[in-house]
Structure 1
Amino acid sequence: MDADYLPFHPAPKVPDFTPPAGAVDAHCHVFGPADTFPYSAKRKYTPCDAPKEKLFALRDHLGFSRNVIVQASCHGTDNAALVDALETAGPLARGVAVVSPDVTDAELDAMDKAGVRAVRFNFVKRLVDDTPREVFTGIAERITKLGWHIVVYFEAPDLEDLAPFLTSLPGIIVVDHMGRPDVSKGADHPDFDRFIALMAENDNIWVKVSCPERLTVAGPPYDDVVPFSRRLVEAFPDRVLWGTDWPHPNMKSHMPDDGQLVDVIPRIATTEDARRKLLIDNPMRLYWPEETKS
């Protein structure tokens, strides 16, 4: 692990808020262990090992039923650790992969069988090298044939430039971590209004109201981030997801207590109906559609 990064919380609290039965942590990761699943030689950071056993124990500790595991940049396009975790979890997990343009149809089919349901396009320059957009377009055209969707990760200053490209992509687009807004500007700032408008004008765009620990200026209990998440939950109740982001790679200022993160949920989804959509209905419809068809 990089010397200036923090390891995940060793003993998170039991949340005061009890998630409803069937709740999904729709954004989390597995890292390594490096002696079994080596990190990419091209990685921009080295995380602590965070194996599947720790993730599934956390799921149970926090009161969740399922996980959506997202491939992070430190493993590059080698999805072996992700697939291994999915195969262990079976129907209790789904995955978001990162693939190269030369990925074969057989490889995509094998990932689909393991439970991968999306690919991630990362535009955060401090985490990945720049990728020509035509490469992403080619991947998008291939994975939509499998019924997969696209997860995108970017930061707020890049939205204006990215928006035309994002709206050109096929199928459902899920934006990680609310598009990384600058929370010091407030949830009514024109910058965040731009993101709200993007979602209002494109009903295929979803969002994860996750990662207050990354966005906060004030620190726990993340009062400065709550208005952003609540605004999205209230405006787009059928297109929001929530996740822990465990094990919180690249954190330097503080390492969140995952139980405390769960306790933010009733502050951003203030009704039982909103919480059910956020934690069960929406992720199930997106990642387990075969279980939601009548």
Structure 2
Amino acid sequence: MPDYLPFDPNPHAPSYALPAGACDSQFHVFGSPAQYPVRQGAAYEMPTATWQVAQKLHQTLGISRGVIVQATTYGADHQVVLDALQALNTGATPSYRGCANALVLKERDDAYLQRLHDAGVRGARFTRGGLGISFSATEMNEALAKVKALGWYIKVQPEPTGIAEQMQTFSSFDGPILMDHMGRIDPSKGPSDATWQAVHQLLEKDNLWVMLSLSEKLSKTGQPWDDVVPLAQSLIAKAPERVVWGSDWPHPISIKQPPNEGDLLDLLRRFAPDDATLHRILVDNPARFFGFDTQKVSP
């Protein structure tokens, strides 16, 4: 298993106060391999990125809601997410949701899926092929039917070449779909790029959403990631009511030093310089999509 660089252990607050109810729409949690066995063939593991560390991170940043996305490290075994959701949701109203790895739809039974739902999982993430999880056509159809029956959303992690071709697989799914990492558009290519155009066209459908994340890896110019700003602003302009933000902490598979989350939120402020748009991205949109205020996700 390759060694990747660890997350910044000293996160700082952003330069502005986040609105109440701000949500980190994607982060991962890990734990000791003795407690949470690593899936055979896993591409990476990060045992120090526990829910306790994530909780302190969110407190530092001013974030009060979040979505724990199951890492491919654990495959269909979601115990690390179940334990984190139980620990973090101590109030009467859940402040954390979960997103399963789609492998669970293939390898676990309906009772296990219901257990995830009862714990606060509301979606399934289909990861890129390089992380070792794949579906046949039949398995994919069965998986999508289960997602629909549960009332969950679909989350799609883009391939390194961009998300456009992958989305054909989900063209018949009429439930909510969230495209990760700004569709992995190459910001250096500009609006004439085929992937740029495809993602913007997809956002014309009212069940398609996009997450502002992975800026540090999409950028070709490096920090402060100036080249990503026009891309993010174009996505916000296209579908302001269907954009969310995620830290992607602890930034798995990083071959360069991962960013400080405070810097990423300062970048978000450049994406959305007015308070109303920022509030929509951090509070209103994720509350609606992840079901913080309701029990079922709505497109």
How high is the TM-score relative to the length of structure 2? Answer: 0.91
CA–CA distance in structure 1, aligned partners of residues 40 and 187 of structure 2: 34
Q: How does 1:37-116 map to 2 (within 5 A)?
A: 37-90=36-89, 91-98=94-101, 99-116=104-121
Distance 1:92 1:160 in 2: 32
Question: Who is 2:280 aligned against?
Answer: 277
Distance 2:150 2:157 in 1: 21
Q: What is the alpha-carbon distance in structure 2 between the residues aligned to residue 218 and residue 176 of structure 1?
A: 21
Q: Distance in 1 between matches of 2:138 and 2:278?
A: 38
The CA deviation string for residues 205-253 of structure 1, in whole angstroms up to 9 with x for no partner, is 1010111012111111111111111111121011111010000011112
Equivalent in the alignment of 2:207: 204
User: In the aligned structure 2, how far is the partner of 1:221 from the partner of 1:48?
Assistant: 29
Q: Show the counterpart of 2:157.
A: 153
Please report how far the alpha carbon of residue 292 of structure 1 lies from its aligned counterpart in structure 2 after TM superposition: 10
If the length of structure 1 is used for normalisation, what is the TM-score?
A: 0.93
The structural deviation recorded for 1:164 is: 2.6
Q: Deviations over 1:95-154 (max 9, x none)?
A: 0001141421111111111110001111x2222243223322211211222221111112
Asked if 1 retains the 8 angstrom alpha-carbon contact of 2:86 and 2:119, the reply is: yes
Q: Unpaired runs of 5+ in structure 2? A: none
1:118 alignment partner in structure 2: 123
Q: Number of aligned pairs?
A: 290
Instruction: Map 1:1-294 onto structure 2 (within 5 A).
Output: 2-3=2-3, 5-90=4-89, 91-98=94-101, 99-122=104-127, 124-155=128-159, 157=161, 159-200=163-204, 202-287=205-290, 288-290=292-294
Equivalent pair of 1:237/1:274 in contact (CA under 8 Å): yes
- Runs of 4 or more consecutive aligned structure 1 residues displaced over 4 Å after TM superposition: none
Q: 54-63 or 91-100: which moved more?
A: 91-100
What do you get for the CA RMSD once the two structures are aligned?
A: 1.9
Q: Which amino acid is 1:281 matched to? A: D
SS of 2:165's equivalent? helix
Retained in 1: the 8 A contact 2:6–2:257? no
**Inter-partner Cα distance in structure 2 for 1:78 and 1:258:** 28
Q: Distance in 2 between matches of 1:292 and 1:43?
A: 32
Distance in 2 of aligned mates of 1:133 and 1:121: 14
What amino acid maps onto 1:166 in structure 2? F
Whether contact under 8 Å (1:32, 1:38) holds in the other structure is no
Unaligned runs of 5+ in 1: none
Whether the 8 Å CA contact 2:97–2:120 is kept in 1: the answer is yes
Classify 1:249/1:224 alpha carbon distance in 2 versus 1 (closer, same or farther; 3 Å): same
Q: State the distance in 2 between where 1:188 and 1:263 align.
A: 28
